[in-house]
């Protein structure tokens, strides 16, 4: 393994990043970068059209995503961040990779199944079925060592390893096998108890201002019991707010519950609002220091480097395949 590890991960530009992203993956990205590793982030704009017909204003959302990254403390100089659509050679890896997986394997992917269901669609597009292979190209084009992700992405990572292994067996050693890295909270629930998600409207965005956070938490469900306790099985709504507050404050949810005790649902919401706002404040301050023009520049520089890496890998792939 290289001494300086290569970290690759990414997001779809479908809306603002939220607390689930932070505790699932972003915190690890920042820590790994600060430890001196090489961080590459893909703005997966071609992945937007997996579960929707219209991509929306992808360009703007991509810039918003980059501003989200910068607000998290990613290095505005040392981070390689690029959009899928700016790196054509990456997508060419999809052809040999598709030949290495069976339709049965694609059909069984639990994350794809869940996304098809969430999108409420009667038919599944070819891209929806194959996007995990596309994601393997995202990861393998730069020969990543580590992939910080939320739990829902692990099936894609397993498939990526399978593809790398099969390619190497069939054509000779080209790809290292990447390892997935789960965050502190690999799957965080949103304010309605379902998985925190951009599309479910139950998320606290990293870019939310203090009033928005307060309003969202005010309207979250609790239960009728006066005394606050941390019992995820019996009191999921209360436990969920305690989890969010605890993660933001760096305190165990059970300890928070004891502190709130007879403060009831109102006390819980006050503590949660304060914890989330205190946590987000430094992000808000950092974000205010960057402009969309700087985000655009970062993407341009990132695309330059990503294109070099992708061409290099594609050249090796063609050579290995005897083309």
State the Cα–Cα distance between residues 134 and 119, nearest whole angstrom. Answer: 20
Q: Residue from 74, 112, 149, 196 that binds ligand TRP (CB under 6 A)?
A: 149
Between 207 and 229, name the residue whose CB sits nearer to ligand TRP: 207
Between 8 and 100, name the residue whose CB sits nearer to ligand TRP: 8
Total residues interacting with ligand TRP, rule: CB under 6 A: 14
**Is residue 9 a contact point for ligand TRP (CB under 6 A)?**
yes
Between 128 and 317, name the residue whose CB sits nearer to ligand TRP: 128
State the Cα–Cα distance between residues 310 and 142, nearest whole angstrom. Answer: 7
**Is residue 61 a contact point for ligand TRP (CB under 6 A)?**
no
**Is residue 80 a contact point for ligand TRP (CB under 6 A)?**
no
Q: Residue from 153, 202, 240, 243 that binds ligand TRP (CB under 6 A)?
A: 153
Between 124 and 261, name the residue whose CB sits nearer to ligand TRP: 124
Q: Residue from 47, 71, 130, 277 that binds ligand TRP (CB under 6 A)?
A: 47
Question: Nearest approach, Cβ of 153 to ligand TRP (angstroms)?
Answer: 6
Q: Residue from 72, 147, 159, 260 that binds ligand TRP (CB under 6 A)?
A: 147
Question: Nearest approach, Cβ of 169 to ligand TRP (angstroms)?
Answer: 23
**Is residue 109 a contact point for ligand TRP (CB under 6 A)?**
no
Question: Nearest approach, Cβ of 132 to ligand TRP (angstroms)?
Answer: 8
**Is residue 240 a contact point for ligand TRP (CB under 6 A)?**
no
Question: Nearest approach, Cβ of 275 to ligand TRP (angstroms)?
Answer: 25
Q: Residue from 6, 11, 67, 141 that binds ligand TRP (CB under 6 A)?
A: 11
Site residues for ligand TRP per CB under 6 A = 8-12, 42, 44, 47, 135, 138-139, 147, 149, 153
């Amino acid at each position: 393994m290289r001494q300086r590890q290569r970290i690759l991960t990414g997001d779809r530009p479908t809306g603002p990043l939220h607390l689930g992203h932070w505790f699932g993956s972003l915190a690890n990205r920042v820590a790994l970068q600060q430890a001196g590793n090489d961080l590459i982030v893909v703005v997966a704009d071609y992945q937007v059209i997996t579960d929707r017909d219209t991509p929306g204003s992808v360009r703007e959302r991509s810039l918003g995503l980059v501003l989200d990254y910068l607000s998290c403390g990613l290095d505005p100089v040392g981070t390689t961040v690029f959009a899928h659509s700016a790196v054509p050679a990456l997508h060419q890896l999809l052809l040999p990779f598709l030949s290495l997986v069976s339709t049965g394997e694609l059909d069984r992917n639990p994350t794809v199944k869940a996304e098809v269901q969430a999108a409420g669609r009667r038919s599944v597009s070819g891209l929806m079925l194959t996007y995990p292979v596309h994601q393997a190209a995202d990861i393998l084009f730069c020969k990543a060592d580590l992939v910080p992700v939320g739990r829902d992405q692990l099936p894609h990572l397993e498939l990526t390893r399978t593809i790398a292994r099969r390619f190497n067996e069939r054509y000779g050693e080209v790809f290292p096998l990447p390892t997935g890295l789960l965050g502190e909270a690999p799957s965080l629930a949103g304010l309605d108890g379902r998985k925190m998600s951009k599309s479910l409207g139950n998320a606290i965005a990293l870019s939310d201002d203090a009033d928005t956070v307060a309003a969202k938490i005010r309207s979250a469900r609790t239960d009728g019991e006066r005394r606050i306790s941390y019992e995820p099985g019996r009191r999921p709504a209360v436990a969920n707010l305690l989890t969010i507050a605890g993660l933001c404050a760096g305190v165990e949810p059970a300890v928070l519950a004891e502190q709130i005790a007879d403060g009831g649902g109102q006390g819980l919401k006050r503590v949660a609002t304060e914890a989330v706002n205190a946590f987000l404040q430094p992000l808000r301050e950092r974000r205010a220091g960057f402009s969309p023009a700087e985000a655009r520049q970062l993407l341009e520089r990132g695309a330059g480097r990503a294109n070099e890496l992708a061409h290099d890998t594609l050249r090796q792939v063609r050579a290995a395949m005897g083309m």
